[in-house]
Amino acid sequence: MKAESKYSNKRILVLGLAKSGFAVAKLLKKMNSEITVVDSNPLEGNTEAKELLNQGFKVITGSNDADLVDTSFDYVVKNPGIPYSNDLIKHAQDLNIPVITEPEIAYSFSDAQMVAVTGTNGKTTVTTLIQLMLAHSPKFKQSFYAGNIGIPISDVIQKATKDDVVVTELSSFQLEGTIDLHPHVAVLNNIYSAHIDFHGTRANYIKAKMHITKNQTKDDYFIVNWNQSEWRQLAKDTQAQVVPFSDEQELEHGAYVKNDEIYYDKEFILNTDVIKVPGEHNVQNALAAINVAKIFNVSNEDIINVLTSFKGVKHRIQFVDQFNGRKFYNDSKATNIEATTVALEAFGDQELTLIAGGLDRGNGFDELVPQLKNVKNIVLYGETADKMVDAATKANVTNIIKVSNLAEAVPEAYRQSDDGDVILLSPAAASWDQFDTFEQRGDQFIEEVEGLKGEA
């Protein structure tokens, strides 16, 4: 780790704790910055705030009023999920204080090579596959993953050396708060419409995503999905070397699919049907990872070993269990329509009992109607339940059931299902109406399935 950066010896306000705020506050203090931590949650039950207090930090809890920031601060580091409409953030911007996010800080102190991954869907899977493949690269001693995958970058960069690589999953929330972030390899897996409630417009959302390549040069690489004209157009906005991937067309350079076989630069790698995790989208995820692996000289044998042994990431079409002829899958990370569409398509003609619902962001679900053709039972809960009833009715789903919460949804889905069915949690909505995180939602689903198995 570097001894200092532009964020050393500064006066910095960290807004919002959770994992990333907690980690970046400790990193900045280690680098001799004066830190004030502000968290809107009360001190009671706030484990991170109490620990920082015990370590001598100035911590303000139970408030995030605008007057907590003034011109004596050099920077504000905000939790990625805090909107820019927050009064403290708006006041900081009025005072011309830069508002940044944790990846910007972590990158400034990192000695390690950085590979950064973004996209609307598939980020976690691609990040994990790249990390596993780069563990076999002759160019690095170790490979790590971090970021939106659930591990603060500020923690990982303190372990990673100049001989290592950190594969970082970055959300649009994180990327919007970056200034100097400069990955050597950046991956744009796809872009659909998401998080418009946060960014205001789709154009703003795309602009935030493209921060991943804004500081790249001709010596860097930009890996991009070549399936849609919009994404090909975005590739014109980078200075980096573009390496495309596609499962729809043959390419002169990069990874692609032809006749159910994966190639890189015309060289055969493996057949698509040996990839362990189901779904066309996971073929695309594999192509993105192969492009990165090839840049860093990973052998075909090691690429194949990863893709034929990888069983998926937790909360993303994760196989949970099988009993009484039913297979249970946890896709809690499907926080939007596109992600649930991907999940439903992954199971092809398999008959499904779908559990869905969550935070109402104001959107309808008509886009999901064509994908519900193989759903014979749908169990809905949460704020979006009524809207999803409407979509399911339009899709001619014959058995539509509303319940109050996930704890009721799982046994109800089991009762409505038959031998040979897949029971899939894929909410098509954020978790925040009833859960703190999608991980918490997915963990409860797993617990409910385990309890159901015991009763069965």
Token pair listed for 328: 């249970």
Give 354's strand partners. Answer: 378, 424
150 annotated binding-site participant: no
C-alpha 360/C-alpha 20 separation (Å) is: 26
Contact predicate 377/353, CB 8 Å: yes
Residue 405 and residue 202: Cα distance in Å, rounded? Answer: 31
Band of the pLDDT at 18, cuts 50, 70, 90?
Answer: confident
- Of 411, 386, 410, nearest to 400 by C-alpha is 386
pLDDT at 61: 96
Residue 119 assigned ligand-binding role: yes
- CA–CA dist 300, 433 (Å, integer): 45
Mean pLDDT score, 411-432: 96
* Interatomic CA distance for residues 132 and 137, integer angstroms: 10
User: How much is the pLDDT for 228?
Assistant: 96
Distance, first Cα to last Cα, the chain: 52
* CATH fold of 318-455: Protein-Tyrosine Phosphatase; Chain A (3.90.190)
Check residue 251 and give its pLDDT: 98
Q: What percent of the chain has pLDDT over 70?
A: 100
Asked whether residue 341 is marked as a ligand-binding residue, the answer is no
What pLDDT band is residue 29 in, cutting at 50, 70 and 90?
very high
For residues 244 and 246, give the distance between their C-alpha atoms in angstroms, rounded to a whole number. Answer: 7
**Tokens 């596109």 sit at which residue?**
338
The full 3-state SS of the chain, as one line of letters, equals CCCCCCCCCCEEEEECCHHHHHHHHHHHHHCCCEEEEEECCCCCCCHHHHHHHHCCCEEEECCCCHHHCCCCCCEEEECCCCCCCCHHHHHHHHCCCCEECHHHHHHHHCCCEEEEEECCCCHHHHHHHHHHHHCCCCCCCCEEEEECCCECHHHHCCCCCCCCEEEEECCHHHHHCCCCCCCCEEEECCCCCCCHHHHCCHHHHHHHHHHHCCCCCCCCEEEEECCCHHHHHHHHHCCCEEEEEECCCCCCCCEEEECCEEEECCEEEEEHHHCCCCCHHHHHHHHHHHHHHHHCCCCHHHHHHHHHHCCCCCCCCEEEEEECCEEEEECCCCCCHHHHHHHHHHCCCCCEEEEECCCCCCCCCHHHHHHHHHEEEEEECCCCHHHHHHHHHHCCCCEEEECCCHHHHHHHHHHHCCCCCEEEECCCCCCCCCCCCHHHHHHHHHHHHHHHHHHC
CB neighbourhood size of 418 (10 A): 12
CA distance 401 to 434: 18
Give the amino acid at 170.
L
Span 289-313, average pLDDT: 95
> What is the model's pLDDT at position 289?
98
Residue 236, classified by CB atoms within 10 Å of its CB into exposed (0-12), middle (13-18) or buried (19+), is exposed
Which residue type occupies 150?
G
- Cα–Cα distance measured from residue 381 to residue 166, given in angstroms and rounded to the nearest whole number: 38
Average pLDDT of the chain to the nearest whole number: 95
Binding site annotation covers 217? no
The pLDDT tens digits for 316-338 are 888 899 999 999 999 999 999 98
- In this structure, which topology does domain 103-309 adopt according to CATH? UDP-N-acetylmuramoyl-L-alanine:D-glutamate ligase (3.40.1190)
Looking at the DSSP bridge assignments, the partners of residue 222 are: 186, 242
121 — pLDDT class (breaks 50, 70, 90): confident
CA atoms of 183 and 186, how far apart (whole Å): 6
Residue 76 — very low, low, confident or very high, per pLDDT cuts 50/70/90?
A: very high
**Single-letter amino acid code for the residue at 184:** H
User: Is residue 122 a known part of a binding site?
Assistant: yes
The predicted model gives 43-47 an average pLDDT of 92
Residue 3 has pLDDT above 80, yes or no: yes
d(Cα 248, Cα 263) in Å, to the nearest integer? 12
The boundaries of every CATH 3.40.1190.10 domain in the chain are 103-309
Kindly state the percentage of the chain with pLDDT values over 90.
90
User: Is the predicted pLDDT of residue 215 greater than 90, yes or no?
Assistant: yes
Q: How many CB atoms within 10 Å of residue 404?
A: 11
353 is in an annotated binding site: no
Which residue from 278, 122, 119, 258 is spatially nearest to 187, judged by alpha carbons? Answer: 119
**pLDDT greater at residue 112 or residue 350:** 112
81 to 135, 156, 185, 335, 437: CA distances (angstroms)? 31, 21, 25, 14, 11
Residue 367 tokens read as 């886009």
Q: Which range (74-78, 145-149, 347-351) has the least confidence?
A: 347-351
> Which structure tokens are listed for 303?
């690429």
Q: Which fold has domain 11-100?
A: Rossmann fold (3.40.50)
Would you place residue 184 in the very low, low, confident or very high pLDDT band (cuts 50, 70, 90)?
Answer: very high
Residue 71 pLDDT level (bands cut at 50, 70, 90)? very high
Task: Please determine, for residue 201, whether its predicted confidence score (pLDDT) is greater than 90.
Answer: yes
pLDDT at position 34 over 90: yes
Q: Is the pLDDT of residue 250 over 90?
A: yes
pLDDT at site 193: 82
Range(s) within the chain of domains with CATH label 3.40.50.720: 11-100
324 assigned to a ligand binding site? no
Predicted local confidence at residue 286, as pLDDT: 97
